[in-house]
Amino acid sequence: MKIELDLNRRPSAAPRSLAGLSLTALEEEIKALDVPAKLARMRAKQLRRWLHHFGSTEFSDMTDISKDLRALLSQTYHLDRPEISEHKVSVDGTQKWLIRFQPGVEGESVFIPAVSKTGALCVSSQVGCTLNCKFCHTGTQKLVRNLTAQEIVSQVLIARDGLGEWPATVHGRALSNIVFMGMGEPLYNLDNVAEAIDTMSDGEGMSIGRRRITVSTAGVADKIPELGARTGAMLAISLHAVRDDLRNEIVPINKKYDLQNLFEAIRAYPDLSNARRVTFEYVMLKGVNDSAAEARDLVKLLKGVPAKINLIPFNPWPDSPYECSDWDTIEKFAEIVKRAGYPSPIRTPRGRDIFAACGQLRSESIRKSAAERRREALGTAN
Ligand code: SAH
């Protein structure tokens, strides 16, 4: 059957990028081009493979798609990634991209190579954050907006472009894991995060298995079951305190979901086992949460949960109100947790020199009022 395509058709809106769209979204776009519904799914699958497996940036690569359809696609869409405003490489190999999703909306992703040729890309789910955790630099930046699923996935495209890791399944690729530990609270943007995880884990596309994707939350307990059911991703919890009074102060969302609430949700997370542990992040703040008594209370709190505890030396940022615990104190804390049978690695800070370490991410983007956005669009901003 020959498809009749109108090559003179003019795009109705400014061209948009197809790169990073989910399979369903690609299918919708193709249907909008009047490709018969029966064929649209197949075309979407072909596109998905070119975009997310091969990392194509040109429609002309797509030799299994007819020339007519390619011409129509290229007049309606492009395959660009969002613009990179800044790219920095640390002395330790960590890389940070500041990405301009749209004018005034910038967020960061960080690639952290491991010793063993693997590595994790730390992606942002929001620009800014609503949570105000006291030790976190992102917490000093108000929420600008949620990122779309496409924008979340585009962070992986940008990193793979930079690392030269196309096609996605080359053996021994450095970008092997994804952690949602960049800016923002992923469980406050769960629809987009779940859609992005579907795209990242698609075996015909980016092929990053769901078990290699970790979503970290400060403790939005009532969304944890949904995260498990919809994504099958690994769970990480930013714990940082073992008593409600202290946690209320340093992770204020604890006032809404206290430790008991949080641990009920954690214990019910699907498929937990020693091979599939919950990661707990615990930032070491001098004289605040780092005593031996707190390490013992942590062990009690974790009872029965297959867990791994990442002890994160506090990373300072300008005017931050805390200091990092002494090394001896961190080691003592780690020893107590380890003796109770939980792996408790002390994370070496990575990328501190380029401000890419945990809790140091912050962009200059601010949320603009509708009036400000209108003035800017009219070119009358002052
Ligand atoms: N909102 C989610 C995702 C952000 S993850 C969450 O809280 O889990 C970012 C991780 O870095 C969190 O564990 C956070 O608590 C930790 N962090 C924040 N500021 C830090 C700092 N200054 N030093 C070390 N770790 C920090």
- pLDDT tens profile 38-84: 899 999 999 999 999 999 999 999 999 999 999 999 999 999 999 99
Q: Which of 108, 165, 195, 294 is catalytic?
A: 108
Tokens of 345: 């690695």
Q: Whose CA is nearest to atom 4 of ligand 1?
A: 181
CB of 283 closer than 6 angstroms to any ligand 1 atom: yes
Of 170, 174, 180, the closest CA to residue 220 belongs to 180
Binned at pLDDT 50, 70 and 90, residue 355 comes out as confident
The rounded Å distance from CA 160 to ligand 1 centre is: 24
354: pLDDT strictly greater than 90 = no
Share of the chain above pLDDT 70, in %: 92
Share of the chain above pLDDT 90, in %: 78
Of 317, 216, 318, 312, the closest CA to residue 266 belongs to 216
Q: Where are the alpha helices (DSSP H) in the chain?
A: 23-31, 37-48, 67-76, 149-163, 190-201, 224-231, 244-250, 259-267, 292-301, 327-339, 370-377
Do 90 and 231 fall into the same domain? Answer: yes
Ligand 1 atom showing the smallest separation from residue 317 Cα: 22
pTM for this predicted structure: 0.92
Do 101 and 74 fall into the same domain? Answer: no
User: Apex CA 138: angle with CA 268 and CA 241, to 5°?
Assistant: 45
- pLDDT tens profile 229-271: 999 999 999 999 999 999 999 999 999 999 999 999 999 999 9
Do 44 and 139 fall into the same domain? Answer: no
Q: Whose CA is nearest to atom 13 of ligand 1?
A: 238
CB of 238 closer than 6 angstroms to any ligand 1 atom: yes
Q: Is 358 a catalytic residue?
A: yes
Measured CA to CA, the distance from residue 33 to residue 55 in angstroms comes to 23
Q: Where are the alpha helices (DSSP H) in 5-121?
A: 23-31, 37-48, 67-76
Order of strands across the sheet that contains 177-180: 83-89, 95-102, 105-113, 119-122, 177-180, 213-217, 234-238, 278-284, 307-313
Question: Is residue 8 situated within a structural domain?
Answer: no
The rounded Å distance from CA 251 to ligand 1 centre is: 10
Q: Which tops the pLDDT comparison, 371 or 266?
A: 266
Q: Among 112, 121, 136, 262, which is best to mutate for testing ligand 1, by the most ligand atoms less than 8 A from CB?
A: 136
377: pLDDT strictly greater than 80 = no
Q: Which domain holds residue 333?
A: 83-367
Quote the pLDDT of residue 137: 87
Q: Among 238, 249, 288, which is best to mutate for testing ligand 1, by the most ligand atoms less than 8 A from CB?
A: 238
Quote the pLDDT of residue 15: 79
Mean pLDDT, range 345-354, rounded to an integer: 84
Q: Whose CA is nearest to atom 24 of ligand 1?
A: 314
Measured CA to CA, the distance from residue 224 to residue 207 in angstroms comes to 24
381: pLDDT strictly greater than 50 = no
Quote the pLDDT of residue 168: 80
Mean pLDDT of the chain: 90
Q: Cα dist. 351→49, 109, 209, 319, 355 in Å?
A: 33, 12, 26, 19, 6
Do 65 and 174 fall into the same domain? Answer: no
370: pLDDT strictly greater than 90 = no
CB of 29 closer than 6 angstroms to any ligand 1 atom: no
Do 30 and 138 fall into the same domain? Answer: no
Q: Whose CA is nearest to atom 18 of ligand 1?
A: 359
- pLDDT tens profile 76-106: 999 999 999 999 999 989 999 999 999 999 9
CB of 185 closer than 6 angstroms to any ligand 1 atom: yes
- pLDDT tens profile 133-158: 999 988 788 899 999 999 999 999 99
Q: Whose CA is nearest to atom 20 of ligand 1?
A: 359
378: pLDDT strictly greater than 80 = no
Measured CA to CA, the distance from residue 154 to residue 141 in angstroms comes to 22
Quote the pLDDT of residue 221: 98
Q: How many CB atoms lie within 10 A of CB 11?
A: 11
CATH number at 61 reads 1.10.150.530
Phi then psi for residue 360, to 5 deg, are -100, 0
Quote the pLDDT of residue 48: 97
Domain C-terminal end among 54, 78, 102:
78
Measured CA to CA, the distance from residue 161 to residue 260 in angstroms comes to 43
Question: Is residue 382 situated within a structural domain?
Answer: no
Mean pLDDT, range 198-217, rounded to an integer: 97
Do 37 and 146 fall into the same domain? Answer: no
Do 237 and 305 fall into the same domain? Answer: yes
- pLDDT tens profile 271-280: 999 999 999 9
Sign of CA dihedral 166, 172, 178, 182: negative
Query: What is the total residue count of the chain?
Result: 382
Quote the pLDDT of residue 3: 46
Measured CA to CA, the distance from residue 25 to residue 370 in angstroms comes to 28
Q: Is 376 a catalytic residue?
A: no
Question: Is residue 40 situated within a structural domain?
Answer: yes
Q: Whose CA is nearest to atom 1 of ligand 1?
A: 185
Quote the pLDDT of residue 258: 98
Looking at the 3D structure of the chain, how many domains does it have?
A: 2
- For residue 115, the 8-state DSSP code is S
Quote the pLDDT of residue 374: 61
Q: CA 176, 178, 97, 49: dihedral to nearest 10 degrees?
A: 70
Do 74 and 92 fall into the same domain? Answer: no
Q: Among 283, 288, 350, which is best to mutate for testing ligand 1, by the most ligand atoms less than 8 A from CB?
A: 283
Domain C-terminal end among 78, 111, 131:
78
- pLDDT tens profile 5-50: 444 444 445 679 999 999 999 999 999 998 888 899 999 999 999 9
